Chain A
Amino acid sequence: KAGVTQTPRYLIKTRGQQVTLSCSPISGHRSVSWYQQTPGQGLQFLFEYFSETQRNKGNFPGRFSGRQFSNSRSEMNVSTLELGDSALYLCASSLGTGGPYSPLHFGNGTRLTVT
């Protein structure tokens, strides 16, 4: 079974630009979550999508947005990039059902550098 696939692996952008990251979940998984990982703040939850609907949202500004398509693939968009947005962005998929017992499986991440 293929794992979670994220593209691209690396991105370099300039302040003020916008960026779109893509995530394909494990086959059969309907929940896709996004996390930001930085050395200072660790892993922080951005949002979760389930059946094309945002189900949970973390404490990030509105510049961070996402969506999910009918095939469960998800995209994350960051507009008006700031230097502090430089981070590893991780996508995780899970079945999304079964209450709290459904583990998350992470993709390889997209390393975003903002200059």
Chain B
Amino acid sequence: QKEVEQNSGPLSVPEGAIASLNCTYSDRGSQSFFWYRQYSGKSPELIMFIYSNGDKEDGRFTAQLNKASQYVSLLIRDSQPSDSATYLCAVKSNAGNMLTFGGGTRLMVKP
């Protein structure tokens, strides 16, 4: 059973702080890793993807990958109330286009 685990939260951070979201996965054959943001009642929106060990930055977002530890994280700098949403970690193996999703972490950014 390939699993992707996330803390369900809620993770509460003050406006302007750094939010750190974590995800672990069980399948060592996983090749690429995705972070989606989902607002209540909306569909998932792709934020970032990463496939090499290390950090990948895009604006206020940084994805970090450690394949040896089977761990991927998302940092959100200068958090804004508009960042309040559920963040979904998804993992893709080399076999096809299927994503396995974690249960999501609910982030609340307080003004």
Question: Is B60 interfacial (CB-CB < 8 Å)?
Answer: no
Bound together, the chains give a CA A102 to CA B99 distance in angstroms of 11
Q: Residues of B contacting A108 with CB < 8 Å?
A: 42-43
Bound together, the chains give a CA A48 to CA B93 distance in angstroms of 14
Question: Is A67 interfacial (CB-CB < 8 Å)?
Answer: no
**Do A33 and B98 form a contact, CB below 8 Å, given A42-B103, A101-B51, A103-B34?**
yes
**Do A31 and B97 form a contact, CB below 8 Å, given A101-B32, A106-B44?**
yes
Q: Residues of B contacting A48 with CB < 8 Å?
A: 96-98
Partner of B97, one of A42, A90, A102: A102
Partner of B32, one of A96, A100, A106, A107: A100
Select from chain B the residue with minimum beta-carbon distance to A58.
B98
Interface contact A43-B101, CB-CB below 8 Å:
yes
Partner of A43, one of B31, B44, B49, B94: B44
Question: Is B92 interfacial (CB-CB < 8 Å)?
Answer: yes
The minimal Cβ–Cβ distance linking A104 to chain B, given in whole angstroms, is 6
Select from chain B the residue with minimum beta-carbon distance to A56.
B96
A interface secondary structure, majority: strand
Q: How large is the interface on A (under 10, 10 to 19, 20 to 34, 35 or more residues)?
A: 20 to 34
What 1/0 mask marks residues of chain A from 21 to 54 whose CB sits below 8 Å from any chain B CB?
0000000000101010000001111001010000
Q: Residues of A contacting B100 with CB < 8 Å?
A: 45
CB-CB contacts below 8 Å: B42-84 with A: 42-46, 49, 51
Select from chain A the residue with minimum beta-carbon distance to B6.
A42
What 1/0 mask marks residues of chain B from 89 to 111 whose CB sits below 8 Å from any chain A CB?
01011111111111110000000
- Give 28 pairs: A residue, B residue, CB < 8 Å, sorted on A: A33-B97, A42-B102, A43-B88, A44-B101, A45-B99, A48-B96, A50-B97, A55-B96, A56-B96, A58-B98, A88-B43, A92-B99, A94-B97, A99-B31, A99-B94, A100-B31, A100-B93, A101-B49, A102-B97, A103-B49, A104-B34, A104-B97, A105-B46, A106-B36, A106-B43, A107-B43, A108-B42, A109-B43
A binding-site residues for B, Cβ under 8 Å: 31, 33, 35, 42-45, 48, 50, 55-56, 58, 88, 90, 92, 94, 96, 99-109
